[in-house]
């Protein structure tokens, strides 16, 4: 069977950090690692599947910094099974703490046995040595879904949106009008009304987009209900 794991991609080489990505599993889940050039600190976003591939992704950033690499945390954007299949194995191998949205942490613990050390809520800032991420709660795809926004000193911000925002629409709310209304409202009020059009969105699957590319279609999304 052909491999479902993609090559590692260097998405951003910024003055203070790099961002690398790899797609894993038959669900083509995106795994991201942010690496501080000044400290070697790393933040892993979604240990989705294929723990050896995830470790290769982390190690690939060794060429991005003169510092020794130090994985500080694994952040899970939401509780769904396809985003957590390698979580326990990567935690066992690295011993690092994990973080997740407060409303999803219990389900993640039940599924993986991994207890989140840090419970994330909308408006929090997750700060590590050389990396600072704004936590944006996006309720609807799951109750505790979170996006993470990195704002460089110079240049457009980056958003790791999990399964809450994609090119062409918000995440799947399974035709539930209340869940859709919740997710749509949070995406509009907490992303589109806060951040500039050049914010780059890196979703949990597939290619990225920008708020500017998606903004003209917000009314269409609201009318169709997905």
Exposed, middle or buried, 181 (CB in 10 Å: 0-12/13-18/19+)? middle
Average pLDDT value for the chain: 97
Question: 132 pLDDT band (50/70/90 cuts)?
Answer: very high
pLDDT of residue 3: 54
- For residue 4, the model assigns a pLDDT of 81
**pLDDT at residue 1 is higher than 90:** no
Angle at 41 between CA 39 and CA 46, to 5 degrees: 160
Q: How confident is the model at residue 2 (pLDDT cuts 50, 70, 90)?
A: very low
Check: pTM over 0.85? Answer yes or no: yes
**Is a pLDDT exceeding 80 seen at residue 175?**
yes
58 burial (CB, 10 Å; 0-12 / 13-18 / 19+) is buried
CA distance 179 to 173: 6
């Amino acid at each position: 069977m052909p491999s479902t794991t993609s090559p590692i991609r260097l998405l951003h080489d910024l003055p203070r950090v790099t961002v690398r990505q790899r797609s894993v599993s038959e669900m083509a889940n995106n795994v991201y690692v942010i690496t501080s050039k000044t400290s070697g600190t790393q933040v892993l976003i979604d240990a989705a599947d294929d723990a050896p591939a995830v470790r290769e992704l982390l190690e690939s950033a060794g060429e991005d910094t003169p510092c020794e690499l130090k994985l500080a945390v694994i952040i899970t954007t939401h509780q769904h099974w396809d985003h957590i299949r390698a979580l326990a194995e990567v935690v066992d191998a690295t011993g690092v703490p994990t973080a997740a949205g407060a409303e999803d942490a219990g389900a993640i613990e039940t599924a993986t046995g991994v207890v989140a050390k840090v419970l994330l809520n909308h408006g929090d800032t997750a700060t590590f040595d050389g990396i600072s991420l704004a936590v944006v709660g996006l309720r609807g795809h799951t109750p505790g879904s979170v996006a993470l926004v990195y704002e460089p000193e110079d240049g457009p911000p980056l958003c790791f949106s999990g399964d809450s925002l994609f090119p062409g629409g918000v995440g799947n709310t399974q035709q539930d009008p209340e869940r859709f209304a919740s997710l749509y409202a949070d995406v509009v009020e907490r992303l589109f009304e806060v951040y500039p059009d050049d914010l780059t969105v890196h979703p949990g699957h597939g290619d990225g987009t920008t708020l500017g590319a998606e903004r003209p279609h917000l009314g269409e999304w609201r009318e169709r209900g997905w």
